[in-house]
Amino acid sequence: MSTETREYAKKLTAQMTLEEKMSQMLYESPAIDRLGIPAYNWWNEALHGVARAGVATVFPQAIALAATFDEDLLQKIGDVVSTEGRAKFNEFSRKGDRGIYKGLTFWAPNVNIFRDPRWGRGHETYGEDPYLTGKLGCAYIRGLQGPDRDHPKAAACAKHFAVHSGPEALRHEFDAKVSRHDLYDTYLYAFKRCVKDAGVEAVMGAYNRVNGEPACGSRTLLKNILRDEFGFEGHVVSDCWAINDFHLHHHVTGIAEESAAMAVNNGCDLNCGNAFLHLPKAYEMGLVSEEAITEAVERLMEIRIRLGMMEDYPSPYADISYEKVECPEHVKLSVEASRRSLTLLKNEEDFLPLEKEKICTIAVIGPNANSRDALVGNYVGTSSQYITPLEGIQQYVGEEIRVLYAQGCGLYKDKVEGLGERKDRMQEAVIAVEHADVAVMCLGLDATIEGEQGDAGNEYASGDKLGLNLPGLQEELLETVAAMGKPVVVLLMAGSAIDLSWAEHNPNVKAIVDCWYPGARGGKAIAEMLFGEFSPSGKLPVTFYQGTENLPEFTDYNMADRTYRYTDKNVLYPFGYGLHYGRVRYEEECVSGERTDTSGEVKVSASVINEGKYALWETVQVYVKRKESLDYEPGFQLKGVSCVHLAPGEKQRIEVTLSPRDFAYITEEGDCVVRPGEYLIAIGGQQPDEESERLTGQRVTCLKVEKTGSSISVEY
């Protein structure tokens, strides 16, 4: 940020009365007409498109975008989202509409780590890996904010800071106890990258406590770490009504005035909620100083100035036309993102793609076959068109193939009709499959049962999952259809890992595709994939487990036995796994040198060859592991990604540079250290693990590098 805007903010704030300053710290900030400050509502959402403000391009959910592993794609999407946000803001402002969800401060991305597959909000994230989350979060932020910090197109917000990933039912009272190793190794890394590498404008606190301190009023998190260690210069916003939890649920304060003062004194500038209505009384009680309030308001005014909300500091984006909202170019990108996210988990005997000329009738079965909710996830805008898998298949095959549809069962209830009998749609599915050559089963979840407490209608777990099985009668429906002997393709539409062990091992289930929540027009991409218009190329950003038996308690924030970095127990589909139509081969893997000192870079390279007949995207993954790791340290860790497009038969040479930070480990004290010794570096299209090798039939080459010299500390 420039000196000019900082001084402008100071000058503007200095002209306010104390009461006016306090009024600007509420998410519904009133106008101060005498100073030329318009009213502004800070609350807006843009997780995967402009949300909750009418029509916008609805991209695949964040977890689906993570399956692309592609920074460039995420930045393009962020750029489109902020363009549409600007177009809507410009027009709404001209009409005098400055209400909620109409502003330029987007409370996205969610860079929490999806540490446990039961967490209902995990589909808002970029998965379980800190490195990938950091890379994709930064890319989306760059897209949202644009290249000019003094004139951002929008303001992004990294949330929820910190150590936040369920359980939803306890979030207002829960104390996440975490070691310094896990704090820095897992929970803070993506936030640091968003601050240091992408210059994120805002950070949102979390509901929970962290080691006893409520996150939205934590001196450790907001002052010591975020501002002092990370060098964050933007503003901090509370999660919505989280400050009230200080006295109502966490009981670290006694009254609302104490809670409001605690938040401000420890670095929270903006209140989503009503706690800061108590700031005047808190000031009278001597709990908070005018200096602390002034400092917060200066930060808030500064970003509003840079966004162009003051007449004498205009924005270069003020003329973006409303014609940009859901324009053909943006819709095309959303469908491309859907294509890129589809993740092929099983393809027995190359059953997919389907051949039109060999099929007379196809049965499309399942509660998600014709569900709009299963397309979009949560925090979502309104699309002018939705294409479900059923509709996509119908549109693709036209009159060439008969398409039969049966819902089969409800998403989680045991009947579809209110007065119906249990399993009232099951036999309809059986009849449809009897008359078909192949069954396409659309199973899974949607954001009405997997999501945020209060939004999800999951009365059993407040949006979280109790286990990893398909809910309701879906497993029975699958087993019933598969028992009929017809070939079955399972399309999973969900935002998290589901235990698909039965489907994986059943010989009649020929293929499984994880479609995630693929966006408003996701059915178009799904149909094109099924019939071979392109090869799926997604990779799993989370581990799929066989049940929860080997997972720690959901409330345990210790990372031991969690995610691919710390466990290989009961893994069904590993992180980083995903098949293509055809085969990609790696050869000529090498490193720049077999010995280097602890401060040196290492270049790792390989030739990548598409041996199939389909053009495809390959996600080249580089993993690093110290051969002699300590007990508390992770195993192989993703440290490099390169997404490459390969025509059939094409060969490309890919090189990834690893910095000293990529060889560093976090000590038990939270220090970031590179130690001498032998390191293993794997480069390939998957993890270097036995399960990935079994599933793909391909082994990843591990190279060795010796780091010499003495241990060194590197920047976290």
- What's the rounded Cα separation, in Å, for the pair 375 and 225? 38
- What's the rounded Cα separation, in Å, for the pair 481 and 488? 8
- What's the rounded Cα separation, in Å, for the pair 328 and 407? 32
Q: Taking the CA atoms of the chain, what radius of gyration do you get in angstroms?
A: 26
Tell which residue, 369, 472, 486, 365, has the closest CA to residue 427: 365
- What's the rounded Cα separation, in Å, for the pair 235 and 267? 9
**Could you give the strand order of the β-sheet that contains 677-684, starting from the edge strand earlier in sequence?**
595-597, 701-708, 677-684, 616-626, 637-646
- Tokens 């989350």 belong to 133
Query: If you write DSSP's letter for every residue of 10-42 in order, what string do you get?
Result: HHHHHTS-HHHHHHTTBSEEPPBGGGTB--EE-
Catalogue the E-assigned strands of 31-186.
40-41, 157-161, 175-176
Q: Which helix (H) or strand (E) holds 330?
A: helix 328-341
- What's the rounded Cα separation, in Å, for the pair 380 and 123? 13
- Catalytic annotation, pick one of 129, 175, 239, 245: 239
Q: Which helix (H) or strand (E) holds 510?
A: strand 509-514
Query: If you write DSSP's letter for every residue of 405-455 in order, what string do you get?
Result: EE--S-SSSS-SSTTPPTTTTHHHHHHHHHT-SEEEEEEE--TTTSSSTTT
457 neighbors 465 (Cβ within 8 angstroms)? no
Is residue 239 annotated as a catalytic residue, yes or no?
A: yes
Q: What is the 3-state secondary structure (H, E, C) of 580-610?
A: ECECEEEEEEEECCCEEECCCCEEEEEEEEE
682 neighbors 700 (Cβ within 8 angstroms)? yes
**Region of residue 426 (phi > 0: left; psi between -120 and 50: alpha; otherwise: beta):** alpha
Q: Which helix (H) or strand (E) holds 135?
A: helix 130-145
Tell which residue, 122, 175, 671, has the closest CA to residue 445: 122
Evaluate the omega torsion of the peptide bond into residue 160 and state whether it is cis, within 30 degrees of 0: yes
Collapsing DSSP to helix, strand or coil, 168 comes out as: helix
Residue 158 phi/psi, 5-degree rounding, is: -85, 125
Q: Which helix (H) or strand (E) holds 119?
A: none
User: How far, CA to CA in Å, does 688 sit from each of 135, 206, 294?
Assistant: 21, 35, 53
- Tokens 């930045």 belong to 75
- What's the rounded Cα separation, in Å, for the pair 45 and 280? 29
Residues with active-site annotation:
239
